[in-house]
Every structure is written in structure tokens, then in C-alpha cells.
Amino acid sequence: MTERRTTDRPSPAAPTRLLVVEDTREIAEALQDSLEAEGYEVALATKAAHALALATSHRPSAVLLDLGLPDRDGYEVLRELRARGSEVPVLILSARREESDKLQGFRLGADDYVTKPFSRPELLARLDALLRRSRRATPAAAQVAAPAPAPARLSDDELRAKFGLTPRQLAVAKLVAEGRTNQEIAEALGTSFYTARNHAEQVLRRLNVGSRAAVGAVFYGRAAEGGES
């Protein structure tokens, strides 16, 4: 098991981070083992909401995305990532073999599509090619640090001052920015679903945005608010 390839990695000190989105435990763990054996650092999500949160916090260099997830379709994850302005390379890994599924994936911004059951060497080779293409397109330093122009989100004080958010609205806004559903927000904050939904609606109004995806963009400084890009 020494197909290890480290020659193209930009810096040996910084392992390439990957996000694996896969709800079938055995597949997820096998993938994680294979990828870690290749020197990648792997974060694992088994649900769409978790995947979106990790895509923000973990800042992966690539995402391996299953389509059949328990809470939302993998396509929705991809759609939301792109709506947030993320250009992270996405490799769909799915049992769906229909051409229409693949086309749908590419239309939504996938970079590659591998069908299950997959060959491990082929998957690793495709992933490697994907990362190489992505590195050529992005200067290495920017890639390692942060893909967005603003590396950090606005501070809590800045957010409260800028949008006039109450502490509770701020807490809700952060969860919305992570891609959580109203139900998940209700559970996280110990409120009813309806209270969570009301808060989330207030947050959209305060931030003057039309979608939940845009909340993340505002928080992480990638918004088109005020006319800047």
C-alpha cells in the first residue's frame, strides 16, 4: 500500500484537506482510511446540513459528495455550495449511473463524477487530477489560506452593529450561515420549530437578503451587499 504521492503537494507541512460526504458508514470509513493513507486530512459528514457546515469551517481543497443523503439530496448540497460562491472542486461519488444524473451534477457545478462501486486507484487518480487542476487555477498561497477574499467572518460585534441583531438573532444567523435547517436550529437553541423559523425570517429581513444561502455569504464577507463584489 505505497502508492503514496506527495510530489505535487504544495507544502509538505500542510496536508490537503478533504470533505467526504457519505452516509453509508462502511463506505465512509473505507474512503477515509484510503484517503488518510494517501496523506490527506479528511473530515466526514453523513448529512447534507453537516456537510455545508464543514464546507465552511473545514475549508476543504475538494469535496467527495454522495447523492443519496438522509436529510437532503447531494445535489442540494452542491447547489448551495455554489450559491454561496464556493468554487471548491466537487467529485460526485454515487451509485446513480444514469446519464441524466451525471448531467445534472455537472450542470450544478460538479467537477467530476465517479459511479459506485468504484475502483480505489481510479478514484484516487481522479481526485489527484482534480486537485492538480484546481491548484493550477488558484495560486497555492491563496488556496492554503482561504479561497475567499476576506479570510475571517465579521466579528459578533460587527455583525450586531451592522445589522442591528439581538444576541438571539445573531445565534440564529450563525446557524443559518452554517446551512442548518429550522428544525436543527430549534434543537440547537432549545426553541420550538416555529420560534426558530420566525427568528430565521427576522434574520433574513435584518440582513436584507432573499435566501438562507446569502446569509453565509454576508457573514463570510462574500456578499454582493452594497454593490461590492
Cβ 108 to Ca ion shortest distance, Å:
17
Q: Quick one: 23 or 38, whose CB is closer to Ca ion? A: 23
Q: Quick one: 118 or 163, whose CB is closer to Ca ion? A: 118
Q: Which residue is nearest to Ca ion (CB)?
A: 68
Q: Of 5, 15, 70, nearest to 38 (Cα)?
A: 5
Q: Quick one: 64 or 148, whose CB is closer to Ca ion? A: 64
Q: Quick one: 75 or 219, whose CB is closer to Ca ion? A: 75
> Which three cell numbers, joined as nine digits, stand for 6?
506527495
Q: Quick one: 53 or 77, whose CB is closer to Ca ion? A: 77
Cβ 219 to Ca ion shortest distance, Å:
29
Cβ 69 to Ca ion shortest distance, Å:
6
Cβ 68 to Ca ion shortest distance, Å:
4
What does the alpha-carbon distance between residue 153 and residue 151 come to, in Å, rounded to a whole number?
A: 7
> What residue spans of the chain are helical by DSSP H?
25-37, 48-57, 74-83, 99-107, 120-137, 140-145, 156-163, 167-177, 182-189, 193-207, 212-219
Residues engaged in binding Ca ion (CB under 5 A): 23, 66, 68
Cβ 84 to Ca ion shortest distance, Å:
23
